[in-house]
Amino acid sequence: MKLKIAVLSGDGVGPEVCDQAVKVLKAIELKFKHQFTFHEGLVGGVAIDKKGTPLPEETLTLCHESDAILFGAIGDPKYENSADTEIRPEEGLLKLRKDLGLYANIRPLKVYGPLIHKSPVKEKVIKNTDFIIFRELTGGIYYGEKKLSSDGHKASDECVYTTEEVDRVAHLAFKSAKSRRKKLTLIDKANVLETSRLWRKRVKELAKEYPEVTVDYLYVDNAAMKIILNPRAFDVILTENLFGDILSDEASVISGSIGLLASTSIGDKSVLFEPIHGSFPEKKGKNIANPLATILSAALLLEHFKLYEEADAIKSAVEKSIELNITTPDINATKKYAHTSTVGEFVSEYIIDKKNILYKMENISLGQSTII
């Protein structure tokens, strides 16, 4: 298959982790005889520095012309905590989502057996947890009108949802539930918010089209508690933009590291894959950020194009790296932790030739990897 992939690595550790995902995709290309081309685009703080805007026009054009987008991370402390900063790197991502119409962000959560003890939550609580969050991504309070009074003492962010915005992401979530354990939980704040009441009304209506799916409704405060107390109770979670942002970070704690979680953002014409973690600026350039979330995002990319065998090859290689403890310090507290690039090399080498992996591991540690 021929695929044109835009790589928007962004800020902080974004470039380091994206490099590894590209390396892994190149291994897939070689092994399975595909033709992938990679095209870099500037976004975020680095784009502000070089072009004066967090989302330059040429990046947007590149994204429109690509089959898929691989995204790293965004955010730079240089632009943070200063209320009067005019342009923020995050605006690049928000504008990208809006312009490409990426209305659904899908964040699967899985607990890896060998890592179960790394989670701060008890093993017996999280064992076999497997749920997926459908977060609405281009509406709600993120995109409502923002106001600040001229005296600087009053601010507001409007939260708006239309039935159309609710329906399109809800349909995706229902379809996913249908192919999984047939349970959908809508998380909202319908006891307080009008927008949440609209979500409930629509989801109740749409549920009639999916009779095999059981639907339940939870207030977000209660859900935040249940995700930690009884995560196995969830199958598909459907929620609005802000709640989805918060709950997915919370849920990542269950897996032991936010550095493991990948996501897909779907629009009618575009599709973007990114780790759920941020730019982790403190660790930038140290070659210790966990690349697995971005590598797993590359697996989601392949799945999107129905390259299931290829995606499975990545997932098995990732599982092997975890099993062999070839992992970065966030999940490997020993002195023998692996660097970001080593994890990427291991995963790539394992895809190319898993039989000789032990021999190859020696080469990797000697810096003689065959495909880098």
In this complex, which beta carbon is closest to ligand IPM, that of residue 75 or of residue 344? 75
Distance in Å, CB of 256 to Mn ion, minimum? 18
Distance in Å, CB of 45 to ligand IPM, minimum? 11
Q: Which of 90, 188, 310, 330 is close enough to bind ligand IPM by CB under 6 A? A: 90
> What is the C-alpha to C-alpha distance for residues 109 and 252, in angstroms, rounded to an integer?
7
- Bridge partner list, 185: 216, 237
In this complex, which beta carbon is closest to ligand IPM, that of residue 93 or of residue 318? 93
Distance in Å, CB of 245 to ligand IPM, minimum? 4
Contact between 245 and ligand IPM by CB under 6 A: the answer reads yes
Residue numbers 249-308 binding ligand IPM by CB under 6 A: 276
Which residues of 158-234 form beta strands (DSSP E)? 183-188, 214-219
Q: Mark the segment that binds ligand IPM (CB under 6 A) among 86-94, 149-157, 178-186, 203-211.
A: 86-94
The answer to whether the CB of 136 falls within 8 A of the CB of 239 is yes
Contact between 44 and ligand IPM by CB under 6 A: the answer reads no
Question: Measuring CA to CA, which residue among 55, 25, 26, 27 is closest to residue 41?
Answer: 55
The answer to whether the CB of 135 falls within 8 A of the CB of 265 is no
**Residue 188 interacting entry, from Mn ion, ligand IPM, none, C-beta within 5 to 8 Å by type:** none
> What is the C-alpha to C-alpha distance for residues 213 and 238, in angstroms, rounded to an integer?
13
Q: Mark the segment that binds ligand IPM (CB under 6 A) among 88-96, 124-132, 186-194, 331-339.
A: 88-96
Distance in Å, CB of 96 to ligand IPM, minimum? 10
Contact between 75 and ligand IPM by CB under 6 A: the answer reads yes
In this complex, which beta carbon is closest to ligand IPM, that of residue 56 or of residue 75? 75
Q: How would you list the strands of the sheet with 130-136, edge to edge?
A: 35-40, 2-10, 68-73, 271-275, 262-266, 104-110, 130-136, 236-239, 183-188, 214-219
> What is the C-alpha to C-alpha distance for residues 145 and 336, in angstroms, rounded to an integer?
50
189 is an active site residue: yes
**Residue 75 interacting entry, from Mn ion, ligand IPM, none, C-beta within 5 to 8 Å by type:** ligand IPM
217 is an active site residue: no
245 is an active site residue: yes
First to last CA, the chain: 23
Interaxial angle between packed helices 90-100 and 57-65, expressed in degrees from 0 to 180 and rounded to the nearest 10: 40
The answer to whether the CB of 147 falls within 8 A of the CB of 182 is no
Contact between 76 and ligand IPM by CB under 6 A: the answer reads no
Q: Which residue's structure tokens are 């023998």?
A: 336
DSSP secondary structure code for residue 213 in this structure? S
142 is an active site residue: yes
The answer to whether the CB of 348 falls within 8 A of the CB of 340 is no
Contact between 74 and ligand IPM by CB under 6 A: the answer reads yes
Helix%, strand%, coil% for the chain, nearest 5? 50, 20, 35
161 is an active site residue: no
Contact between 10 and ligand IPM by CB under 6 A: the answer reads no
**Residue 238 interacting entry, from Mn ion, ligand IPM, none, C-beta within 5 to 8 Å by type:** none
- Reduced to 3 states (helix: H, G, I; strand: E, B; else coil), residue 136 is strand
> What is the C-alpha to C-alpha distance for residues 205 and 15, in angstroms, rounded to an integer?
44
Residue numbers 231-250 binding Mn ion by CB under 5 A: 245
- Total binding residues toward ligand IPM, as defined by CB under 6 A: 7
> What is the C-alpha to C-alpha distance for residues 359 and 337, in angstroms, rounded to an integer?
19
Contact between 11 and ligand IPM by CB under 6 A: the answer reads no
Distance in Å, CB of 127 to ligand IPM, minimum? 26
In this complex, which beta carbon is closest to ligand IPM, that of residue 177 or of residue 293? 293
Options 157, 216, 221, 312, the catalytic residue: 221
Options 103, 112, 142, 143, the catalytic residue: 142
Residue numbers 151-180 binding Mn ion by CB under 5 A: none
As annotated, the active-site residues are: 142, 189, 221, 245, 249
Residue numbers at the binding site for ligand IPM (CB under 6 A) = 74-75, 90, 93-94, 245, 276
